[in-house]
Amino acid sequence: MADKLAGQPVPKDRIINLPLLISDYFSLQPDPAVSTERVAFGTSGHRGSAFKKSFNEAHVLAVTQAVCEYRKEKGYDGPLFMGMDSHALSTPAQMTAVRVCAANGVKVRIAEKNEYTPTPLVSFAILGHNRTSSDKADGIVITPSHNPPEDGGFKYNPPNGGPADTDVTAVVEKRANEILENGLKDVRALSYEEALASPYVEMYDFITPYVESLREIVDMDAIARSGLKIAADPLGGSALGVYKKIKEMYDLNMEIVNPWIDPTFSFMTLDHDGKIRMDCSSPWAMASLVRLKEDYDLAFGNDTDADRHGIVTPVGGLMNPNHYLSVAIWYLFKHRTSWPEDLKIGKTLVSSSMIDRVAADIGKEVYEVPVGFKWFVDGLYEGWLGFGGEESAGASFLRFDGGVWSTDKDGIILNLLAAEIKAVTGRDPAEIYADFEEKFGKSYYARIDAPATPEQKAKLKALSPDDIEADELAGEKIVGIYTNAPGNGAPIGGLKLVTENGWVAMRPSGTEDIYKIYAESFLSPEHLAEIQKSAQRIVTELIG
Protein backbone atom coordinates (compact mmCIF):
# COMPACT_ATOMS: atom_id res chain seq x y z
CA MET A 1 0.00 0.00 0.00
CA ALA A 2 1.33 3.42 -0.92
CA ASP A 3 2.16 5.98 1.75
CA LYS A 4 -0.66 8.50 2.28
CA LEU A 5 1.65 11.29 1.07
CA ALA A 6 2.93 9.43 -2.01
CA GLY A 7 3.00 11.78 -4.99
CA GLN A 8 2.72 14.85 -2.77
CA PRO A 9 5.34 17.60 -2.17
CA VAL A 10 8.01 16.84 0.41
CA PRO A 11 6.96 17.95 3.93
CA LYS A 12 9.50 20.05 5.82
CA ASP A 13 9.98 17.33 8.43
CA ARG A 14 11.22 14.85 5.82
CA ILE A 15 14.04 17.06 4.53
CA ILE A 16 17.42 15.66 5.60
CA ASN A 17 19.91 17.48 7.82
CA LEU A 18 22.71 18.13 5.32
CA PRO A 19 25.28 19.55 7.77
CA LEU A 20 24.90 16.48 9.97
CA LEU A 21 25.13 14.14 6.97
CA ILE A 22 28.39 15.67 5.76
CA SER A 23 29.78 15.73 9.31
CA ASP A 24 28.95 12.04 9.73
CA TYR A 25 30.69 11.24 6.43
CA PHE A 26 33.98 12.53 7.84
CA SER A 27 33.58 11.75 11.54
CA LEU A 28 31.88 8.37 11.88
CA GLN A 29 34.12 5.32 11.59
CA PRO A 30 32.62 2.09 10.25
CA ASP A 31 33.35 -1.16 12.07
CA PRO A 32 34.32 -3.86 9.53
CA ALA A 33 33.24 -6.48 12.05
CA VAL A 34 29.65 -5.30 11.51
CA SER A 35 28.33 -6.70 8.21
CA THR A 36 26.26 -3.62 7.36
CA GLU A 37 29.30 -1.37 7.76
CA ARG A 38 31.56 -3.26 5.36
CA VAL A 39 32.09 -2.54 1.67
CA ALA A 40 29.53 -4.51 -0.35
CA PHE A 41 29.23 -4.32 -4.12
CA GLY A 42 25.74 -5.07 -5.40
CA THR A 43 24.56 -4.87 -9.01
CA SER A 44 25.37 -1.14 -9.05
CA GLY A 45 28.43 -0.79 -6.85
CA HIS A 46 28.70 0.00 -3.15
CA ARG A 47 25.90 2.08 -1.64
CA GLY A 48 25.04 3.29 1.81
CA SER A 49 24.46 6.27 4.08
CA ALA A 50 26.84 8.22 6.28
CA PHE A 51 24.13 8.22 8.96
CA LYS A 52 24.30 4.40 9.10
CA LYS A 53 28.10 4.14 8.81
CA SER A 54 27.71 2.37 5.48
CA PHE A 55 29.04 5.18 3.25
CA ASN A 56 31.72 7.21 5.00
CA GLU A 57 35.12 8.57 4.13
CA ALA A 58 36.74 5.34 5.32
CA HIS A 59 34.75 3.36 2.73
CA VAL A 60 35.73 5.68 -0.11
CA LEU A 61 39.39 5.71 0.93
CA ALA A 62 39.45 1.91 1.03
CA VAL A 63 37.54 1.30 -2.19
CA THR A 64 39.52 3.86 -4.17
CA GLN A 65 42.80 2.40 -2.94
CA ALA A 66 41.57 -1.06 -3.93
CA VAL A 67 40.64 0.24 -7.41
CA CYS A 68 44.07 1.88 -7.82
CA GLU A 69 45.76 -1.40 -6.91
CA TYR A 70 43.48 -3.40 -9.21
CA ARG A 71 44.07 -1.20 -12.27
CA LYS A 72 47.85 -1.25 -11.61
CA GLU A 73 47.78 -5.04 -11.47
CA LYS A 74 45.86 -5.12 -14.76
CA GLY A 75 48.20 -2.64 -16.42
CA TYR A 76 45.61 0.07 -17.01
CA ASP A 77 47.83 3.10 -17.37
CA GLY A 78 45.45 5.48 -19.14
CA PRO A 79 43.34 8.15 -17.46
CA LEU A 80 40.62 7.32 -14.95
CA PHE A 81 37.49 9.32 -15.79
CA MET A 82 35.60 10.23 -12.62
CA GLY A 83 32.01 11.43 -12.56
CA MET A 84 29.61 12.26 -9.76
CA ASP A 85 25.96 13.07 -9.33
CA SER A 86 24.25 15.72 -7.20
CA HIS A 87 23.68 13.74 -4.00
CA ALA A 88 25.14 15.58 -1.01
CA LEU A 89 27.69 12.84 -0.31
CA SER A 90 28.97 12.73 -3.89
CA THR A 91 31.09 15.89 -3.73
CA PRO A 92 33.00 14.96 -0.55
CA ALA A 93 33.36 11.39 -1.83
CA GLN A 94 34.86 12.63 -5.09
CA MET A 95 37.28 14.81 -3.13
CA THR A 96 38.32 11.74 -1.12
CA ALA A 97 38.72 9.59 -4.22
CA VAL A 98 40.80 12.24 -6.01
CA ARG A 99 43.18 12.41 -3.03
CA VAL A 100 43.80 8.66 -3.23
CA CYS A 101 44.15 8.51 -7.02
CA ALA A 102 46.71 11.30 -7.07
CA ALA A 103 48.75 9.71 -4.28
CA ASN A 104 48.82 6.45 -6.25
CA GLY A 105 49.97 8.17 -9.43
CA VAL A 106 46.70 7.61 -11.25
CA LYS A 107 45.84 10.20 -13.89
CA VAL A 108 42.31 11.16 -12.94
CA ARG A 109 40.04 13.39 -15.03
CA ILE A 110 37.24 15.28 -13.32
CA ALA A 111 34.79 17.92 -14.53
CA GLU A 112 35.67 21.56 -14.19
CA LYS A 113 34.11 23.74 -11.48
CA ASN A 114 32.73 20.73 -9.59
CA GLU A 115 30.27 20.11 -12.45
CA TYR A 116 28.16 16.97 -12.18
CA THR A 117 28.80 14.16 -14.64
CA PRO A 118 26.19 11.52 -15.55
CA THR A 119 27.07 7.82 -15.69
CA PRO A 120 26.64 7.54 -19.50
CA LEU A 121 29.07 10.41 -20.10
CA VAL A 122 31.75 8.55 -18.14
CA SER A 123 31.16 5.42 -20.23
CA PHE A 124 31.23 7.53 -23.40
CA ALA A 125 34.53 9.15 -22.35
CA ILE A 126 36.17 5.81 -21.52
CA LEU A 127 35.21 4.28 -24.86
CA GLY A 128 36.22 7.41 -26.77
CA HIS A 129 39.69 7.37 -25.25
CA ASN A 130 40.22 3.65 -25.70
CA ARG A 131 39.11 3.82 -29.33
CA THR A 132 42.06 6.03 -30.26
CA SER A 133 44.72 5.39 -27.61
CA SER A 134 46.89 2.41 -26.69
CA ASP A 135 46.81 3.10 -22.95
CA LYS A 136 43.65 1.83 -21.28
CA ALA A 137 41.27 4.21 -19.53
CA ASP A 138 38.63 3.23 -16.97
CA GLY A 139 36.30 5.13 -14.68
CA ILE A 140 34.56 5.74 -11.38
CA VAL A 141 31.07 7.17 -10.95
CA ILE A 142 30.14 8.41 -7.49
CA THR A 143 26.38 7.98 -7.30
CA PRO A 144 23.70 5.99 -5.44
CA SER A 145 21.48 6.34 -8.53
CA HIS A 146 17.87 7.24 -7.67
CA ASN A 147 18.26 6.46 -3.96
CA PRO A 148 17.22 8.91 -1.20
CA PRO A 149 19.20 12.13 -0.52
CA GLU A 150 21.09 10.70 2.48
CA ASP A 151 22.68 7.94 0.39
CA GLY A 152 26.02 7.75 -1.36
CA GLY A 153 27.36 5.31 -3.94
CA PHE A 154 30.54 4.26 -5.73
CA LYS A 155 30.69 2.41 -9.08
CA TYR A 156 33.73 1.21 -11.01
CA ASN A 157 33.73 0.90 -14.81
CA PRO A 158 36.64 -1.01 -16.40
CA PRO A 159 38.03 -0.25 -19.90
CA ASN A 160 34.97 -1.75 -21.65
CA GLY A 161 33.07 1.26 -20.28
CA GLY A 162 30.32 -0.71 -18.61
CA PRO A 163 29.55 -1.57 -14.98
CA ALA A 164 32.17 -3.93 -13.58
CA ASP A 165 31.25 -7.61 -13.48
CA THR A 166 31.51 -9.72 -10.33
CA ASP A 167 34.97 -11.01 -11.28
CA VAL A 168 36.14 -7.41 -10.82
CA THR A 169 33.93 -6.21 -7.97
CA ALA A 170 34.69 -9.30 -5.87
CA VAL A 171 38.40 -8.48 -6.00
CA VAL A 172 37.86 -4.79 -5.22
CA GLU A 173 35.37 -5.54 -2.43
CA LYS A 174 37.66 -8.10 -0.77
CA ARG A 175 40.68 -5.81 -0.88
CA ALA A 176 38.69 -2.78 0.35
CA ASN A 177 37.47 -4.70 3.39
CA GLU A 178 41.02 -5.88 4.11
CA ILE A 179 42.08 -2.23 4.06
CA LEU A 180 39.25 -1.32 6.45
CA GLU A 181 40.19 -4.19 8.79
CA ASN A 182 43.79 -2.99 8.76
CA GLY A 183 42.78 0.46 9.95
CA LEU A 184 43.34 2.14 6.54
CA LYS A 185 47.12 1.76 6.96
CA ASP A 186 47.49 0.75 3.31
CA VAL A 187 45.73 3.85 1.97
CA ARG A 188 47.88 6.37 0.15
CA ALA A 189 46.31 9.84 0.08
CA LEU A 190 47.43 13.41 -0.46
CA SER A 191 45.63 16.43 0.89
CA TYR A 192 42.98 17.70 -1.52
CA GLU A 193 45.04 20.81 -2.29
CA GLU A 194 48.13 18.70 -3.00
CA ALA A 195 46.11 16.42 -5.26
CA LEU A 196 44.72 19.29 -7.34
CA ALA A 197 48.19 20.79 -7.67
CA SER A 198 49.73 17.47 -8.71
CA PRO A 199 50.25 16.47 -12.36
CA TYR A 200 47.79 13.60 -11.90
CA VAL A 201 44.52 15.58 -11.72
CA GLU A 202 43.18 17.07 -14.96
CA MET A 203 40.01 19.04 -15.62
CA TYR A 204 37.97 17.55 -18.44
CA ASP A 205 34.92 18.63 -20.43
CA PHE A 206 32.64 15.58 -20.35
CA ILE A 207 29.58 17.35 -21.73
CA THR A 208 30.61 18.98 -25.03
CA PRO A 209 32.02 15.88 -26.83
CA TYR A 210 29.00 13.84 -25.76
CA VAL A 211 26.44 16.43 -26.89
CA GLU A 212 28.26 17.09 -30.17
CA SER A 213 28.15 13.37 -30.94
CA LEU A 214 24.42 12.94 -30.30
CA ARG A 215 23.79 13.31 -34.05
CA GLU A 216 25.54 9.95 -34.44
CA ILE A 217 22.91 8.10 -32.41
CA VAL A 218 19.68 10.17 -32.41
CA ASP A 219 18.12 12.15 -35.27
CA MET A 220 18.55 15.51 -33.56
CA ASP A 221 17.78 17.41 -36.76
CA ALA A 222 14.39 15.71 -37.06
CA ILE A 223 13.57 16.70 -33.47
CA ALA A 224 14.62 20.31 -34.10
CA ARG A 225 12.66 20.54 -37.39
CA SER A 226 9.53 19.13 -35.80
CA GLY A 227 9.25 22.01 -33.33
CA LEU A 228 7.99 19.58 -30.69
CA LYS A 229 7.34 21.27 -27.38
CA ILE A 230 9.40 19.20 -24.98
CA ALA A 231 9.93 19.23 -21.20
CA ALA A 232 13.13 17.76 -19.74
CA ASP A 233 13.26 17.16 -16.00
CA PRO A 234 16.70 16.19 -14.60
CA LEU A 235 15.05 15.66 -11.17
CA GLY A 236 17.78 17.81 -9.69
CA GLY A 237 20.42 15.50 -11.07
CA SER A 238 23.58 15.48 -13.17
CA ALA A 239 21.73 15.68 -16.50
CA LEU A 240 20.96 19.36 -15.92
CA GLY A 241 24.14 20.66 -17.57
CA VAL A 242 23.76 18.19 -20.42
CA TYR A 243 20.24 19.34 -21.28
CA LYS A 244 21.34 22.98 -21.15
CA LYS A 245 24.04 22.20 -23.72
CA ILE A 246 21.64 20.14 -25.86
CA LYS A 247 19.11 22.96 -25.94
CA GLU A 248 21.81 25.46 -26.85
CA MET A 249 23.56 23.34 -29.47
CA TYR A 250 20.50 21.94 -31.27
CA ASP A 251 18.06 24.83 -30.72
CA LEU A 252 15.30 22.54 -29.48
CA ASN A 253 11.93 23.81 -28.33
CA MET A 254 12.72 22.30 -24.94
CA GLU A 255 12.00 23.64 -21.47
CA ILE A 256 14.07 22.37 -18.57
CA VAL A 257 11.80 22.01 -15.56
CA ASN A 258 13.25 21.99 -12.05
CA PRO A 259 16.39 23.64 -13.48
CA TRP A 260 18.39 23.69 -10.28
CA ILE A 261 20.52 21.58 -7.98
CA ASP A 262 19.22 21.07 -4.45
CA PRO A 263 20.88 18.17 -2.58
CA THR A 264 17.91 17.93 -0.23
CA PHE A 265 15.71 17.25 -3.30
CA SER A 266 12.95 19.05 -1.43
CA PHE A 267 11.25 20.01 -4.73
CA MET A 268 10.45 16.34 -5.41
CA THR A 269 7.20 14.54 -4.73
CA LEU A 270 7.37 11.59 -2.35
CA ASP A 271 7.72 8.06 -3.71
CA HIS A 272 5.30 5.20 -3.03
CA ASP A 273 6.73 4.56 0.46
CA GLY A 274 6.89 8.19 1.52
CA LYS A 275 10.63 8.52 0.87
CA ILE A 276 12.33 11.05 -1.37
CA ARG A 277 13.59 9.05 -4.29
CA MET A 278 14.58 10.37 -7.72
CA ASP A 279 13.10 7.40 -9.56
CA CYS A 280 12.02 8.51 -13.03
CA SER A 281 10.07 5.27 -13.50
CA SER A 282 7.89 5.92 -10.44
CA PRO A 283 4.54 7.68 -11.04
CA TRP A 284 4.73 9.04 -7.46
CA ALA A 285 8.25 10.47 -7.77
CA MET A 286 7.38 11.84 -11.23
CA ALA A 287 4.00 13.27 -10.16
CA SER A 288 4.97 16.91 -10.65
CA LEU A 289 6.05 16.28 -14.26
CA VAL A 290 3.03 14.10 -14.97
CA ARG A 291 0.78 16.98 -13.87
CA LEU A 292 2.28 19.05 -16.70
CA LYS A 293 1.75 16.36 -19.36
CA GLU A 294 -0.87 18.26 -21.36
CA ASP A 295 1.37 21.33 -21.60
CA TYR A 296 3.89 19.53 -23.82
CA ASP A 297 4.00 17.23 -26.84
CA LEU A 298 6.40 15.05 -24.85
CA ALA A 299 8.10 15.19 -21.47
CA PHE A 300 10.83 13.08 -19.93
CA GLY A 301 12.98 12.76 -16.83
CA ASN A 302 16.14 11.12 -15.56
CA ASP A 303 17.37 9.88 -12.21
CA THR A 304 20.29 11.70 -10.60
CA ASP A 305 23.09 9.99 -12.55
CA ALA A 306 20.97 9.97 -15.74
CA ASP A 307 21.31 6.27 -16.47
CA ARG A 308 17.53 5.77 -16.31
CA HIS A 309 14.74 7.29 -18.37
CA GLY A 310 11.10 8.19 -17.80
CA ILE A 311 8.75 9.07 -20.68
CA VAL A 312 5.59 11.17 -20.14
CA THR A 313 3.00 11.55 -22.90
CA PRO A 314 0.00 13.92 -23.04
CA VAL A 315 -2.65 11.21 -22.82
CA GLY A 316 -0.93 8.26 -21.20
CA GLY A 317 1.10 10.05 -18.54
CA LEU A 318 4.21 8.21 -17.34
CA MET A 319 4.87 5.18 -19.52
CA ASN A 320 5.56 1.83 -17.92
CA PRO A 321 9.28 1.16 -18.61
CA ASN A 322 8.47 -2.20 -20.21
CA HIS A 323 6.07 -0.51 -22.61
CA TYR A 324 8.62 2.05 -23.73
CA LEU A 325 11.37 -0.57 -24.14
CA SER A 326 9.07 -2.47 -26.51
CA VAL A 327 8.41 0.65 -28.59
CA ALA A 328 12.07 1.72 -28.64
CA ILE A 329 13.13 -1.72 -29.85
CA TRP A 330 10.48 -1.80 -32.58
CA TYR A 331 11.36 1.70 -33.78
CA LEU A 332 15.13 1.24 -33.77
CA PHE A 333 15.11 -2.04 -35.66
CA LYS A 334 12.71 -0.55 -38.20
CA HIS A 335 14.55 2.75 -38.72
CA ARG A 336 18.26 2.03 -38.24
CA THR A 337 18.72 0.84 -41.81
CA SER A 338 22.52 0.70 -41.61
CA TRP A 339 22.50 -1.73 -38.69
CA PRO A 340 23.64 -5.30 -39.49
CA GLU A 341 20.73 -7.66 -40.07
CA ASP A 342 21.85 -10.17 -37.43
CA LEU A 343 21.86 -7.78 -34.44
CA LYS A 344 20.16 -9.20 -31.34
CA ILE A 345 17.85 -7.60 -28.78
CA GLY A 346 19.01 -7.76 -25.16
CA LYS A 347 16.45 -8.05 -22.37
CA THR A 348 16.51 -9.16 -18.76
CA LEU A 349 14.48 -12.22 -17.82
CA VAL A 350 12.09 -10.09 -15.73
CA SER A 351 11.30 -7.71 -18.59
CA SER A 352 7.96 -7.95 -20.37
CA SER A 353 7.32 -10.71 -22.89
CA MET A 354 5.85 -7.99 -25.09
CA ILE A 355 9.48 -7.53 -26.15
CA ASP A 356 9.59 -11.16 -27.31
CA ARG A 357 6.37 -10.73 -29.28
CA VAL A 358 7.62 -7.55 -30.94
CA ALA A 359 10.96 -9.20 -31.70
CA ALA A 360 9.28 -12.21 -33.30
CA ASP A 361 7.14 -9.91 -35.41
CA ILE A 362 10.17 -8.05 -36.79
CA GLY A 363 12.23 -11.23 -37.14
CA LYS A 364 14.91 -10.52 -34.53
CA GLU A 365 16.49 -12.80 -31.93
CA VAL A 366 16.11 -12.03 -28.24
CA TYR A 367 19.12 -12.43 -25.93
CA GLU A 368 17.65 -12.98 -22.45
CA VAL A 369 19.97 -12.56 -19.46
CA PRO A 370 19.78 -12.32 -15.65
CA VAL A 371 19.00 -9.03 -13.91
CA GLY A 372 21.83 -6.49 -14.27
CA PHE A 373 23.01 -4.28 -17.12
CA LYS A 374 26.49 -5.80 -16.93
CA TRP A 375 25.20 -8.72 -19.02
CA PHE A 376 24.76 -6.42 -22.03
CA VAL A 377 28.22 -4.84 -21.91
CA ASP A 378 30.03 -7.32 -24.16
CA GLY A 379 27.25 -7.36 -26.76
CA LEU A 380 27.13 -3.59 -27.04
CA TYR A 381 30.91 -3.25 -26.93
CA GLU A 382 31.47 -5.91 -29.60
CA GLY A 383 28.53 -4.73 -31.70
CA TRP A 384 26.29 -7.82 -31.82
CA LEU A 385 23.58 -6.39 -29.55
CA GLY A 386 21.68 -3.55 -31.15
CA PHE A 387 19.85 -2.79 -27.92
CA GLY A 388 20.10 -3.79 -24.28
CA GLY A 389 17.42 -2.83 -21.77
CA GLU A 390 16.24 -3.52 -18.24
CA GLU A 391 12.71 -3.50 -16.83
CA SER A 392 13.88 -0.83 -14.36
CA ALA A 393 14.12 1.80 -17.12
CA GLY A 394 17.78 1.46 -18.05
CA ALA A 395 18.93 0.88 -21.62
CA SER A 396 21.42 1.75 -24.33
CA PHE A 397 21.74 1.09 -28.07
CA LEU A 398 24.16 1.43 -30.96
CA ARG A 399 24.96 4.42 -33.15
CA PHE A 400 23.45 4.84 -36.62
CA ASP A 401 26.47 3.05 -38.13
CA GLY A 402 26.25 0.13 -35.69
CA GLY A 403 29.18 1.35 -33.58
CA VAL A 404 29.21 1.34 -29.79
CA TRP A 405 27.95 4.47 -28.01
CA SER A 406 27.93 3.60 -24.31
CA THR A 407 28.15 0.28 -22.50
CA ASP A 408 26.37 1.61 -19.45
CA LYS A 409 22.74 2.67 -19.25
CA ASP A 410 22.02 5.99 -20.94
CA GLY A 411 18.76 7.64 -19.97
CA ILE A 412 19.52 10.74 -22.02
CA ILE A 413 19.57 9.01 -25.42
CA LEU A 414 16.48 6.99 -24.52
CA ASN A 415 14.63 10.22 -23.74
CA LEU A 416 15.80 11.88 -26.95
CA LEU A 417 14.83 8.76 -28.89
CA ALA A 418 11.23 9.22 -27.68
CA ALA A 419 11.31 12.71 -29.21
CA GLU A 420 12.75 11.29 -32.45
CA ILE A 421 9.97 8.70 -32.56
CA LYS A 422 7.34 11.43 -32.22
CA ALA A 423 9.08 13.67 -34.76
CA VAL A 424 9.52 10.95 -37.39
CA THR A 425 6.28 8.98 -37.02
CA GLY A 426 3.98 11.77 -35.82
CA ARG A 427 2.92 9.53 -32.93
CA ASP A 428 4.22 9.37 -29.39
CA PRO A 429 5.48 6.08 -27.89
CA ALA A 430 2.30 5.52 -25.87
CA GLU A 431 0.18 5.67 -29.03
CA ILE A 432 2.45 3.15 -30.73
CA TYR A 433 2.33 0.84 -27.72
CA ALA A 434 -1.48 0.88 -27.89
CA ASP A 435 -1.11 -0.68 -31.36
CA PHE A 436 1.01 -3.45 -29.84
CA GLU A 437 -1.77 -4.28 -27.39
CA GLU A 438 -4.22 -4.54 -30.29
CA LYS A 439 -1.86 -6.81 -32.21
CA PHE A 440 -0.13 -8.89 -29.52
CA GLY A 441 -2.48 -8.73 -26.54
CA LYS A 442 -2.55 -6.64 -23.38
CA SER A 443 0.15 -7.16 -20.80
CA TYR A 444 -0.59 -7.20 -17.08
CA TYR A 445 2.70 -6.95 -15.20
CA ALA A 446 3.59 -6.53 -11.53
CA ARG A 447 6.31 -7.06 -8.97
CA ILE A 448 5.51 -7.94 -5.38
CA ASP A 449 7.68 -8.96 -2.43
CA ALA A 450 7.26 -11.92 -0.08
CA PRO A 451 9.00 -12.48 3.28
CA ALA A 452 11.83 -15.00 3.40
CA THR A 453 14.44 -16.03 5.95
CA PRO A 454 18.13 -16.12 4.97
CA GLU A 455 17.88 -19.91 4.82
CA GLN A 456 14.86 -19.77 2.50
CA LYS A 457 16.62 -17.22 0.28
CA ALA A 458 19.65 -19.50 0.02
CA LYS A 459 17.43 -22.44 -0.98
CA LEU A 460 15.65 -20.36 -3.64
CA LYS A 461 18.96 -19.25 -5.09
CA ALA A 462 20.18 -22.86 -5.28
CA LEU A 463 17.13 -24.37 -7.03
CA SER A 464 17.50 -26.36 -10.25
CA PRO A 465 14.81 -27.17 -12.87
CA ASP A 466 14.78 -30.77 -11.64
CA ASP A 467 13.43 -29.57 -8.28
CA ILE A 468 10.19 -28.39 -9.91
CA GLU A 469 7.57 -31.13 -9.92
CA ALA A 470 4.62 -28.90 -10.81
CA ASP A 471 3.52 -29.02 -14.44
CA GLU A 472 0.94 -26.23 -14.28
CA LEU A 473 0.96 -22.56 -13.30
CA ALA A 474 -2.34 -20.74 -12.83
CA GLY A 475 -4.16 -23.37 -14.87
CA GLU A 476 -1.73 -23.36 -17.80
CA LYS A 477 0.89 -25.92 -18.73
CA ILE A 478 4.42 -24.89 -17.80
CA VAL A 479 6.44 -24.80 -21.03
CA GLY A 480 9.72 -23.50 -19.60
CA ILE A 481 11.58 -23.80 -16.29
CA TYR A 482 14.73 -21.73 -15.90
CA THR A 483 17.33 -21.28 -13.18
CA ASN A 484 19.82 -20.12 -15.82
CA ALA A 485 19.10 -17.40 -18.36
CA PRO A 486 18.32 -18.79 -21.83
CA GLY A 487 20.43 -16.15 -23.57
CA ASN A 488 23.82 -16.65 -21.95
CA GLY A 489 23.28 -19.58 -19.56
CA ALA A 490 24.24 -17.48 -16.53
CA PRO A 491 22.59 -18.35 -13.19
CA ILE A 492 19.60 -16.13 -12.49
CA GLY A 493 19.87 -16.56 -8.72
CA GLY A 494 16.31 -17.82 -8.57
CA LEU A 495 13.61 -19.39 -10.70
CA LYS A 496 11.52 -18.52 -13.76
CA LEU A 497 8.42 -20.43 -14.90
CA VAL A 498 6.85 -19.78 -18.31
CA THR A 499 3.44 -20.68 -19.75
CA GLU A 500 1.82 -19.79 -23.07
CA ASN A 501 0.16 -16.67 -21.70
CA GLY A 502 2.27 -15.73 -18.71
CA TRP A 503 5.40 -16.16 -16.64
CA VAL A 504 6.77 -15.60 -13.16
CA ALA A 505 10.31 -15.09 -11.87
CA MET A 506 11.39 -15.20 -8.23
CA ARG A 507 14.70 -13.91 -6.89
CA PRO A 508 15.92 -13.41 -3.33
CA SER A 509 16.78 -9.87 -2.32
CA GLY A 510 20.45 -9.21 -1.67
CA THR A 511 19.77 -6.74 1.14
CA GLU A 512 16.40 -7.58 2.72
CA ASP A 513 14.70 -10.69 4.11
CA ILE A 514 12.35 -10.97 1.16
CA TYR A 515 12.18 -12.51 -2.27
CA LYS A 516 10.92 -10.61 -5.26
CA ILE A 517 8.16 -11.99 -7.46
CA TYR A 518 7.95 -10.61 -11.00
CA ALA A 519 4.98 -11.81 -13.02
CA GLU A 520 3.14 -11.09 -16.25
CA SER A 521 -0.11 -12.26 -17.82
CA PHE A 522 -1.46 -11.66 -21.29
CA LEU A 523 -4.97 -12.72 -20.23
CA SER A 524 -6.25 -10.60 -17.31
CA PRO A 525 -5.41 -9.00 -13.95
CA GLU A 526 -7.09 -11.98 -12.31
CA HIS A 527 -4.81 -14.38 -14.18
CA LEU A 528 -1.82 -12.31 -13.08
CA ALA A 529 -2.90 -12.60 -9.44
CA GLU A 530 -3.36 -16.36 -9.85
CA ILE A 531 0.14 -16.67 -11.34
CA GLN A 532 1.56 -14.89 -8.31
CA LYS A 533 -0.36 -17.09 -5.86
CA SER A 534 0.48 -20.31 -7.71
CA ALA A 535 4.16 -19.39 -7.86
CA GLN A 536 4.28 -18.65 -4.14
CA ARG A 537 2.68 -22.04 -3.39
CA ILE A 538 5.26 -23.81 -5.56
CA VAL A 539 8.17 -21.98 -3.97
CA THR A 540 6.85 -22.43 -0.42
CA GLU A 541 6.74 -26.19 -0.97
CA LEU A 542 10.36 -26.10 -2.09
CA ILE A 543 11.98 -23.76 0.42
CA GLY A 544 9.68 -24.19 3.43
pLDDT confidence tier of residue 242, bands split at 50, 70 and 90: very high
Work out the angle at residue 206's Cα, subtended by the Cα atoms of residues 202 and 211, and round it to the nearest 5 degrees.
155
Residues 6 or more apart from 183 whose CB is under 8 A from it? Answer: none
Residue 265 is assigned to a structural domain of this protein: no
What tens digit of pLDDT does each residue of 312-322 get?
A: 999 999 999 99
Work out the angle at residue 163's Cα, subtended by the Cα atoms of residues 160 and 169, and round it to the nearest 5 degrees.
105
What tens digit of pLDDT does each residue of 10-62 get?
A: 999 999 999 999 999 999 999 999 999 999 998 779 999 999 999 999 999 99
The stretch 63-88 carries a mean pLDDT of: 98
Q: Mean pLDDT in the chain?
A: 96
What tens digit of pLDDT does each residue of 357-370 get?
A: 999 999 999 999 99
Q: Could you give the CA distance from residue 395 to residue 413 in angstroms, rounded to a whole number?
A: 9
- How many distinct structural domains can be found in the chain? 3
Residue 70 is assigned to a structural domain of this protein: yes
What tens digit of pLDDT does each residue of 330-359 get?
A: 999 999 999 999 999 999 999 999 999 999
Do 454 and 400 fall into the same domain? no
Which is nearest to 412 in space by CA: 308, 512, 296?
308
Residues 6 or more apart from 197 whose CB is under 8 A from it? Answer: none
Do 113 and 154 fall into the same domain? yes
Specify whether the CB–CB gap between 170 and 39 falls below 8 A: no
What tens digit of pLDDT does each residue of 262-281 get?
A: 999 999 999 999 999 999 99
Q: Could you give the CA distance from residue 419 to residue 424 in angstroms, rounded to a whole number?
A: 9
For residue 511, what pLDDT is reported? Answer: 67
Do 132 and 162 fall into the same domain? yes
Which is nearest to 30 in space by CA: 49, 58, 51, 62?
58
Domain span holding position 508: 444-543
Do 138 and 235 fall into the same domain? no
What tens digit of pLDDT does each residue of 429-458 get?
A: 999 999 999 999 999 999 998 899 999 999
The stretch 537-542 carries a mean pLDDT of: 90
Burial of 167 (0-12, 13-18, 19+ CB in 10 A): exposed
Residue 151 is assigned to a structural domain of this protein: yes
Q: Residue-wise over 43-80: b if at least 16 C-beta within 10 A, else e?
A: ebbbbbbbbebbbbbbbbbbbbbbbbbbbeeeebebbb
145 catalytically annotated = yes
What tens digit of pLDDT does each residue of 417-430 get?
A: 999 999 999 999 99
Residue type, 328: A
Specify whether the CB–CB gap between 367 and 488 falls below 8 A: yes
For residue 544, what pLDDT is reported? Answer: 80
The stretch 236-241 carries a mean pLDDT of: 98
Q: Tell me the residue ranges of DSSP E strands in 74-150.
A: 80-84, 108-111, 138-142
The CATH number that applies at residue 199 is 3.40.120.10
Do 186 and 332 fall into the same domain? no
Which is nearest to 520 in space by CA: 287, 316, 333, 357?
357
Pairing outcome for strands 309-313 and 201-204: unpaired
Look at the alpha carbons of 90, 91, 94, 100 in this order and tell me if their dihedral is positive or negative: negative
Q: Residue-wise over 264-273: b if at least 16 C-beta within 10 A, else e?
A: bbbebbbbbe
Do 188 and 79 fall into the same domain? yes
For residue 44, what pLDDT is reported? Answer: 75
* 3-state per-residue secondary structure call for 266-318: CCCECCCCCCCCCCCCCCCCCHHHHCCHHHCCEEEEECCCCCCEEEEECCCEE
Residue 114 has pLDDT above 90, yes or no: no
Do 183 and 297 fall into the same domain? no
Specify whether the CB–CB gap between 284 and 269 falls below 8 A: yes
Residue 251 is assigned to a structural domain of this protein: yes
Do 469 and 385 fall into the same domain? no
Do 337 and 483 fall into the same domain? no
Specify whether the CB–CB gap between 414 and 429 falls below 8 A: no
Q: Which of 405, 421, 440 is the last residue of a domain?
A: 440
Specify whether the CB–CB gap between 44 and 145 falls below 8 A: yes
Do 28 and 129 fall into the same domain? yes
The CATH number that applies at residue 487 is 3.30.310.50
C-alpha dihedral (171, 173, 176, 180), degrees to nearest 10? -140
Active-site annotation holder among 145, 226, 288, 521: 145
Work out the angle at residue 399's Cα, subtended by the Cα atoms of residues 395 and 402, and round it to the nearest 5 degrees.
110
